[in-house]
Amino acid sequence: MAPRALLALERLLARVRARVRRAALFEGTLVALTGVALGLAVGIIAARLRLTGFPLALIQILIGGSIILFAALRYGWILARSLRRPIDVATWVDDALAPGTPDDAVRFRTALELSRDRGRYNESEALSDLAAKSAEKRAAEVDDAELVARQVRRSQKPRLIAFAIAATIASALSLIFPGPRASAWAALTAVSTLDHPLSPPLPEPRFDDIRLSYRYPSYAQRAPITLVTPDGAVRALPGTEVVVETNASERLTEATLVLVYGEEESSRTAAEVDGRHVKAKFIVARAGRYRFQVKTEDGQMLEERRGRTIDLELDSPPEVTLIEPTTSPLEVNEADRIMLEVDARDDFLLGDARVAWRVLGTTREGKSPLDMGTRGERRRRDRASFDLAALNLRPGDRLAYTVEVLDNDTVNGPKVGATETKELRIYSKEAHHREVLALAEKALDELVHVLGDDLENAFTALDESKAYDSLLTRATAIVERAKAANTMLRDAIVALEKDPLGQKPIAVAFESARKDLQRGTRSKAVALDEARAHFERTQKADDRRARNVGSRQSEVVADLEKNVVYLADLLNDQRLIDAEALTKALRAEQENLRKALEAYKASPTDDQRRLLMAAIQDIKKRIQEISAELAKLRGSIPTDLMNPEALESGDQMAEMDKVQKMIEEGDLDGAMKQLEKMLTGTERTLAEMQQGRQELGSREYSEVTEKARQMWKDLEALEGEQGTLGKKIDQYSQKMLDRMKDRLGDPDAFVAKQKARLEQALERLARAEPALKLTEGDGFDLAERRVADTKRALEARDFGAARESAEDASAELRRVDADAERRADQARRYGDLFGSAEEVERAAHEVSESAPLVDQVLKDLESLVPSPEELMSKQERADMQRLADRQSVLKQRSQNIKKQLDELAEQVPIIGEGTREVLDEATEGMGQSGQGLGTGDAPGAMGGHQKAMDALGRLKDQLEQMSKGGNGSGGGVPLPFGPGQSGGEGEEGQDNFDPQRKVEIPKPEQYKVPAEFREDILKAAKQSSAEAYKDAVRRYYEEIVK
């Protein structure tokens, strides 16, 4: 049988629960209000009794607060928990109904339980159903509203009474003691904002609007401002001086400004009083409040209760953004200068910038100033270098850094804005160097393979077309490989140039090899294209074209044979230098240890011993590192230069262990002996390395060294003698200049004179025009125009143009004159067919008269540029001829040096085409000089001389740079160019090359006549020239000296 539903009962219980909850809420509120009223009453009494201090405030809070707390807990529990389950509500209803309930009436709780447990305990289901039926019936009869009201009324009544009493007392006390009421109320509501919540409050004064004058701290760079506000709230930067002015409602005799910071801190300062006017001043330091306490003229003390707020205006730290570098981690060298670009801004002004750094994994950290123009700026984007050299970084260090920019807050101290933290990885120069060498080695490998390919695939015409086609394909592949090798070489060269531990000649040599390869490959590719094109057309090999490819291939092979050997030697030399440097480092470590041991022997204290043992640990670590590096090198240094056993340093650690053990056992002499043995071994290794380099140099390059030395000597001698010759040429050049200036005279007079002649000529031509001018553009017209052009050119001081026009005019006039004569003759013979014979004759006469005038002008213009014969005496010209002969000898010597260079270039590819071209320039300059001297043109000779000297100087610079850059202790692959190298044997390794020195590249005009000469001419030209014609005159004289 299905259980019987208790629907009526459940509805009843739901209604009852809702009513009871509402009643409980009301009752709880009532209790809480009773607490508030009681608290207020106690507070008023306390205030009235002028009781102050924390204990009384506590009583007030405890009384009111405890009642409120009680209400909250008790009624909160009722609301939340006690009527949560229906069974609890049923119990409550059963209890409420109990007094009038018949004995047989089923209790709602029981009915619910029976219904819940039906069948569970083998009870009678019929009985259960009966109970349910009965409960349902009874529930329908219950008036829940009446029931709840009856029950709640009993509980609420005493609470209402209590509240009424408390409220009455509080109200009464409030009415009777309004002051204490305010205090008490304030104590309850604003206990955190009053200095003494329960002290008896003074009456509050009343003020007008408040006038606030702000004077900001200087760093803010703000002008003072004044504001009038009703609430007097202050908002300012720390350090701001605030002047508060207001008027009270009564006349005052004194006033005090009370500043309150936080709970306890407060200060009082006297305010200025003038009648009702009050004025006070304070400096904003922190956020807080201020208020006035005043005394009226009738002696009453008044005080503001809450006062006015003081808020701090926020001074934000600068915003800083790192623009560059963006890469992180960025790999750099330990002594690099890192360029940092930063954008910084501040709400006020920026201060200095700096880099805050920390070496990761260590305790090393610091701040380095940055020379960035941020100070005093509101916003700045700037670059500055961060010098790592000062940080004593070591290869492999990782450096976290951030750029910090301060603001200019001098009151609270500058605030710091910082960029995000980035990382620098201190690249080991040595590691970088090794990578560069590996790159160079790879490029060299590729060059060797290109050589191998060429040697294994010698190009020749093959009869069998398939085989020839295959050969063409292979040759094309080799060309492609060579092009790829060119790219690899480029990469290697860039790396080599940047390698601080590398030798400059290596980069130069690689570049030279690259150029050779590029040139050879291009040439071969062109020949190959031709051969292939022909083959594709004819399907036959063409002998001539195949020979051409073969010939180009041979050139490539010859270059490669020369270059690969030289490059390999340079790399080997570099490896030996590297090994030597490592061994020197090892020796230095051993020396350090010996010193430490000596110090310990001299003073065997515990401290010294500790130092010594620490030194041993350090050196062991270092030896391990160095040994590892040496081991790597061991595999790459050719065994024909150095015995690989010499680089074995495996025993070093074992020997160090022995030293350590001896020291620990107190055998200092033994330890010293062992150390000496190690040092001797290291010295021996070092000597072997140096010998290896010597071996390389002497085995492969002794002849080159000698030739290079001789060539340098010859070059220096040639430069010296050319310089001496140049001084003599200069003397003659100077003489010519002076004489030319003498001849020039006054340009204005010259122009006026020529103009007069031309005008006269033009007048004559104008008279002849009607008879002789037939059409526009005929001969006469042309002649007339040329004369006019000459005049205009003279007016413009363009003597060059004037001369050209005069030449043209003269020629045209001769033609016109001849034509006029012919026409006059015809007229005479054939009548007036060609015009009046008389007129024509007159016109011809005019023309013939004007021609000499133009000729004269031309002659004068030509005399402006005199021939050397006119300027120099016979003796002087003879002397100059001797100089020309001398110059010829020097030119020959220059050509001889070129031969020497060519020979050297055969063996040392570092001497490239460019170097030889520079020498060609020198030779050419000498040729020009010789020619100038031969024709008596000293200024021209001077230009040639300058060109030669300049080229010789550049050549020397180039050669010096080739030979410098890390020859170290001598040996190796030398090129003994440069100062001090021409003195013969025994002057090795004096490296005074300054890598910072720039080689000045001369401009083309420097090959021209000397600057002083031009300047003198131009000065002369400027004399007496009308302003408008200065440029024209200048052009003319420039023409002269060209």
Distance CA 946, CA 723 (A): 9
In the chain, the amino acid numbered 657 is: D
Least CB distance to other proteins at residue 495 (A)? 21
Neighbours of 533 (CB within 10 A): 12
- For residue 378, give both structure tokens: 């509101």
Relative orientation angle of helices 86-97 and 144-176, to the nearest 10 degrees: 90
Minimum CB–partner distance for residue 984 and other proteins (Å): 23
User: Residue 222 or 474: which CB sits closer to other proteins?
Assistant: 474
Q: Which is nearer to other proteins, 642 or 837 (CB)?
A: 642
Shortest Cβ 911–other proteins spacing (Å): 16
CB of 726 to other proteins, least distance (A): 39
Please give the structure tokens belonging to residue 374. Answer: 């941020």
- CB of 560 or CB of 851, closer to other proteins: 560
Pick 452 or 770: Cβ nearer other proteins:
452
Query: What is the DSSP code (8-state) at residue 218?
Result: G
User: Is-contact 915 959, C-beta < 8 A?
Assistant: yes
Toward other proteins, which CB reaches closer, 442 or 735?
Answer: 442
Q: Identify which of residues 658 and 877 has a Cβ nearer to other proteins in the complex.
A: 658
Nearer to other proteins, 419 or 572 (CB): 572
**In the complex, least distance from residue 444 CB atom to other proteins, rounded to whole angstroms:** 8
With left for phi above 0 and alpha for psi between -120 and 50, is residue 232 left, alpha or beta? left
CB-based contact 659:633 (threshold 8 Å): no
Distance from C-alpha of 179 to C-alpha of 791, rounded to nearest angstrom = 115
- Cβ-in-10-Å burial (0-12, 13-18, 19+) of 262 comes to exposed
Those residues whose C-beta lies under 8 Å from the C-beta of residue 736, and which sit 6 or more positions away, are 868, 871, 872, 938, 939
CB of 449 to other proteins, least distance (A): 7
Minimum Å distance from CB 426 to other proteins?
Answer: 35
Distance CA(1006)–CA(925), nearest Å, equals 12
115 Rama class: left (phi>0) / alpha (psi -120 to 50) / beta: alpha
What radius of gyration, in Å, describes the C-alpha atoms of the chain? 56
Q: Please identify, using beta-carbon distances, which residue of 147 and 564 lies nearer to other proteins.
A: 564
What are phi and psi for residue 399, nearest 5 degrees? -120, 120
Give the nearer residue to other proteins in terms of CB position, either 284 or 579: 579
Among candidate residues 682, 563, 703, the one with its CA nearest the CA of residue 622: 682
For binding to other proteins (CB under 8 A), which residues are involved?
445, 448-449, 451-453, 455-456, 560-562, 564-565, 568, 639-643, 645-646, 688, 691, 695, 699-700, 703, 907
Least distance (Å) between residue 558 CB and other proteins: 10
User: Which residues make Cβ contacts (< 8 Å) with residue 502, sequence separation at least 6?
Assistant: 433, 436, 437, 496, 574, 965, 966
**Between 449 and 741, CB nearer to other proteins:** 449
Closest contact distance (angstroms) between CB of 554 and other proteins is: 11
Q: Which is nearer to other proteins, 544 or 699 (CB)?
A: 699
Half-sphere exposure of 907 (CA within 13 A, CB side): 16
- DSSP states along 249-281: SS-EEEEEEEEEETTTEEEEEEEEEETTEEEEE
Instruction: Kindly tell me which of 645 and 902 has the beta carbon lying closer to other proteins.
Output: 645
| Tokens 């050719």, located at residue | 638
Beta partners for 398? 425
Q: Which amino acid is at 517?
A: L
Nearer to other proteins, 540 or 677 (CB): 677
How do beta strands 330-333 and 350-359 pair?
Answer: unpaired
For residue 699, with 0-12 CB atoms within 10 Å meaning exposed, 13-18 middle and 19 or more buried, which class applies?
exposed
Cβ nearer to other proteins, comparing 86 with 972 = 972
| Contact criterion met (CB below 8 Å) for 16 and 147 | yes
**Nearer CB in complex with other proteins: 703/838:** 703
Tell me how far, at minimum, the Cβ of 692 lies from other proteins, in Å: 9
Instruction: Tell me how far, at minimum, the Cβ of 632 lies from other proteins, in Å.
Output: 18
Show the tokens assigned to 503. Answer: 């030798």
Shortest distance (Å) from residue 383 CB to other proteins? 47
The β-bridge partners of 775 are none
- Interatomic CA distance for residues 113 and 87, integer angstroms: 8
| Of 559 and 808, CB closest to other proteins | 559
Compute the least distance from the CB of residue 462 to other proteins, in Å.
18
Whichever of 451 and 517 has its CB closer to other proteins, that residue is 451
CA–centroid distance for 227 within its chain: 47
Both tokens assigned to 175: 């009415």
Which of 365-373's residues contact partners 24+ apart within 8 Å by CB, and which partners? Answer: 366/391, 367/404, 370/340, 370/342, 370/403, 372/342, 372/405
Query: How far apart are alpha carbons 683 and 662 in whole angstroms?
Result: 23
DSSP 8-state code for residue 832: G
Least distance CB 451 / other proteins (angstroms): 7
Tokens for 435?
């990578």
**SS3 track for 384-434:** EEEEHHHHCCCCCCEEEEEEEEEECCCCCCCCEEECCCEEEEEECHHHHHH
Q: Which residues contact 917 (CB under 8 A, 6 or more apart)?
A: none
Work out the number of other CB atoms within 10 angstroms of the CB of residue 715.
Answer: 23
Return all residues near 161 (Cβ < 8 A) that are at least 6 apart: none
The CB-of-880 to other proteins minimum distance in angstroms stands at: 46
Shortest distance, position 663 Cβ to other proteins, whole Å: 19
Q: How far is the CB of 339 from other proteins (least distance, A)?
A: 42
Shortest gap between Cβ of 576 and other proteins (angstroms)?
A: 13
If DSSP codes are grouped into helix, strand and coil, which group holds residue 784?
A: helix
